[in-house]
Amino acid sequence: MAIILRLDRVMADRKMSLNELSEKVGVANVNLSKLKTGKVSAIRFSTLNAICRVLKCQPGDILEYAEDEEE
C-alpha cells in the first residue's frame, strides 16, 4: 500500500497511550489499535479530525505517501 500510517510515532511523541487517545477521541480502542498498526484500508474524516484535534497535529503527521515499488 502506498499510504503509511504514522499514528504510533505521533502518539509516542505526545507520550499518549492508546487507551487515553481512545477516551479523548471517542473511538473504540480496537479501532485505534488497527489504525496504529496500519491494518486498515480506510479512515473517516471525522475520526482523522478528532485524532488531529487531540494530538494537536496535522493529517500529514499521521499519513505518509510512499510510491509502491515496481517489480
CATH code assigned at 32: 1.10.260.40
Residue 48 C-alpha cell reads as: 482523522
Rounded to the nearest 10°, the torsion over CA 49, 50, 52, 54 is: 160
Residue 71 lies in a domain: no
Domain of residue 53 covers 3-65
Over residues 17-61, the pLDDT tens digits come to 999 999 999 999 999 999 988 899 899 999 999 999 999 999 999
What is the structure's pLDDT at 21?
96
- Sign of the Cα torsion 8, 14, 16, 20 reads negative
Residue 25 lies in a domain: yes
In total, how many domains does the chain have? 1
